[in-house]
Chain A
Amino acid sequence: MAQMNMKEAIRDAMRVELTRDPNVLIFGEDVGNVGGVFRVTEGLQKEFGEERIFDTPLAESAIGGLAFGLGVQGFRPIAEIQFVGFIFEALDQIVIQAARLRWRSGGRYNAPVVFRTPFGGGVKAAELHTDSLEGLIAQSPGIKVVIPSNPYDAKGLLIASIRDNDPVFFMEHLNLYHAFRAEVPEGEYTVELGKANVVREGTDVSIITYGLMVHTATKAADQLEKDGIKAEIIDLRTVSPIDIDTIVASIKKTNRAIVVQEAQKSSGVAAEVIAQINEKALLHLEAPVLRVAGPDTIFPFAQIEDSWIPTPARVIAAVKKVMEF
């Protein structure tokens, strides 16, 4: 086992798959020579050559379409969209073209492509570099949306995504790239897509979350424990599809839940989680399920992002509210 941060684990996943499968390709803006603006693909071009890891001209729609076409040809492209805000340029190719290919062709073609993109606030990046757009993609049928919260999951989930025969949208939180190191096995292993992880066991309330917010929830749970409240934390890992079974099992135990996401409150992943809880576990609830999320505004400019992004204190407040309901 090696100690890796999330960036290294993601790079390692790509290296493993590039080695194993000659059909794996990586491309995007600036990913080649210097390894991308975050150096996630650093060194891979040297190792695997310019035919397999290459820079594209600056055109996201073309990046999406290239991935689609190469997928049709049997390749397994990993296309990097440099920052999440730029996926809009490629949205037609991602959510209309790639996500519909299997269905439109009656199964004749598929798009085994991975779109990787960094996202997430708290790093004082420029406008449109940070927004949490997972809800937008998750609403599109035919594409899976994966958001790892730690290096081990990141590597296993990315390998599983590359091997998946349908398109996967893989989102990497900027604030997790270098946040900490963890044990990551060398070589191949996968973490199943669509399977949540109970990262902390508890009996009093379920905190359902993903990505960076897993860590915010953990901080809150540490504090809550001092007050005698045992929170169970579920890391969704895949926000589309959602692993409702793991959530329901947890709620059966705790009878209370909150959902924490960095994204804006309305119409997103948290709303979907709660809708599914209503469908499958309503009678196990002792209190309404609350959301802790960003407000329904544009992701704010850097100056006040720290007060915009959900904090442990806001998570604690929501937990107390459902406990006292």
Chain B
Amino acid sequence: MTRVPYEVYTEDVEALSVLSPDGEVINKEMMPDLTDDQLKEIMYRMVFTRTWDDRAVNLGRQGRLGFYAPVSGQEATMIGSEFALQKEDFVCPGYRDIPQLVWHGLPLYQAFLYSRGHQHGGQIPEGVNVLMPQIIIGAQILHATGIAMGFKLKKQANVAITYTGDGGSSEGDFYEGLNYAGAFKLPVIFFVQNNGYAITTPFAKQTAAKSIAHKAVAAGIPGIKIDGMDVFAVISAVQQAAERARKGEGATLIEAVTYRFRPHSLSDDASKYRSKEEEGQWNEKDPIARLAKYLEKKGLWTEEDTLRVREEAKATVNEQIKKAEQTEKMTIPGLIDSMFEVTPKHLEEQKADFE
């Protein structure tokens, strides 16, 4: 009897890295082609985003932001993956994926408005190809599948990218999206940021699969697992997935292994389910420090650059949060009028209760 090669599906796969923790390129084949200016731009965005995240957490504590999910630690996955795309490509985010939206063109003050619970936060400017952050875990995966089919029908060589977490990869929507994308050969990239936890639930309790990348197998699309603390691994993987998609070769699943340094959200206490030791180990893999080492060796970045970007980010955040705070408040009649193109009679009547 022929032996079924079970081990193909059950063994863990190694996460591919390009950069070593001390900033050496250890995987030349996968090193993306980037100019010095691009390298500096990536670093700029990562430092900027870290600073904005720090500020956002404080603003949240002061009550100046609403729901906010911290991103520190995930700058390589978020910024690298967006950087690898074209402007016309479509970004379908989860609630944590605000940096991708902003670097893809959403004004920062609108991201703040979204967090503060203002409708205008979701009014994406014309020409910015993003959806608003999705609260229902997994829903965006199916949206991306539809948007990708749109690109295909319009014969437009663009891709949709969608993000979820390790937790999100358990939702039915995730499997349905992967399977559709495989069956219809759609230009979509499923990007899973595996940060080890879904709120409090560790990866080991999320799935018995050794990797999320394995889940591509059943959908008949390629899956890959990469080091999500390594921005070059991220850029390289997304660039290649996008290339495949643009050539009509269909969808790709990318699992990026990463970590969120802060708790799940501002109302969560990570010490209840994570050890200090674990946090310390991941701190050593900080994607910003790692890129900085590489850039410093090439003479492209210094400590002063970091300080300068931080100051700039702080000033921008202050200015943008003020803009958000000064945006005219929503009203109930305004809300009622935004339900339909033409407000039905019963809703017109209901406005009277609020005037």
Contact = CB atoms under 8 A, between A and B. Distances in A.
Interface string A117-137: 000000011111100000000
B95 A126 contact: yes
Interface stretch (B85-93, B112-120, B215-223): B112-120
A208 to B, nearest CB: 19
B170 A59 contact: yes
Given A300-B330, A307-B354, A85 B136 contact: yes
Contacts of B28: none
Nearest to B205: A55
Most buried by A among B67, B117, B351, B354: B117
B350 A300 contact: no
Contact of B346 (A33, A266, A303): A266
Contacts of B338: 297
Contacts of A124: 66, 117
Interface in B180-207: 198-201, 205-207
Nearest to A38: B267
A57 B329 contact: no
A286 interface: no
A53 to B, nearest CB: 13
A265 B200 contact: no
Interface string B67-98: 10000000000000000000000000001000
Nearest to B337: A297
B353 interface: yes
Interface string A233-273: 00000000000000000000000000000000110000000
Interface in B298-354: 329-332, 335-336, 338-339, 346-347, 350-351, 353-354
Contacts, number: 117
Is the contact region of chain A dominated by helix, strand, or loop, or is it mixed? Answer: loop
Contacts of B336: 295-297
Contacts of A314: 353
A248 B141 CA distance: 50
Contacts of B95: 126
A308 interface: yes
Interface string A39-75: 0000000000000000101111110000000000000
A105 B335 CA distance: 46
Nearest to B208: A57
- The interface size bin for chain A is 35 or more
B272 interface: yes
Contact of B207 (A57, A86, A266, A302): A57
Contacts of A296: 336, 339, 346-347, 350
A34 B171 CA distance: 22
Contacts of B171: 58-60, 89
B273 A33 contact: yes
A61 B354 CA distance: 38
Given A58-B168, A128-B136, A301 B330 contact: yes
Contacts of B353: 295, 314
Given A59-B170, A295-B353, A304-B331, A86 B339 contact: no
B170 A57 contact: yes
B137 interface: yes
A296 B329 CA distance: 20
B167 interface: yes
B272 A33 contact: yes
A303 B329 CA distance: 8
A213 to B, nearest CB: 16
A88 interface: yes
Contacts of A55: 200-201, 205
B135 interface: yes
Given A89-B172, A295-B336, A302 B116 contact: yes
A237 B218 CA distance: 47
Nearest to B119: A301
A115 B20 CA distance: 48
A8 interface: no
B264 to A, nearest CB: 9
B168 to A, nearest CB: 7
A301 B122 CA distance: 11
A55 B203 CA distance: 12
A71 B318 CA distance: 54
A283 interface: no
Given A89-B136, A301-B117, A58 B346 contact: no
Interface string A67-110: 00000000000000000011011000000000000000000000
A89 B119 CA distance: 24
B350 A58 contact: no
Nearest to A298: B339
23 contacts: A30-B198, A30-B201, A33-B272, A37-B268, A55-B201, A58-B171, A58-B206, A59-B171, A62-B172, A88-B136, A89-B136, A124-B117, A127-B135, A265-B350, A266-B346, A296-B347, A297-B338, A297-B339, A300-B330, A301-B116, A302-B66, A302-B116, A307-B354
Q: Which 3 A-B pairs have the closest CB atoms?
A: A302-B117, A301-B117, A126-B67
Given A88-B136, A266-B346, 10 more contacts: A33-B273, A37-B267, A57-B170, A128-B135, A295-B353, A303-B117, A304-B329, A304-B330, A304-B335, A308-B335
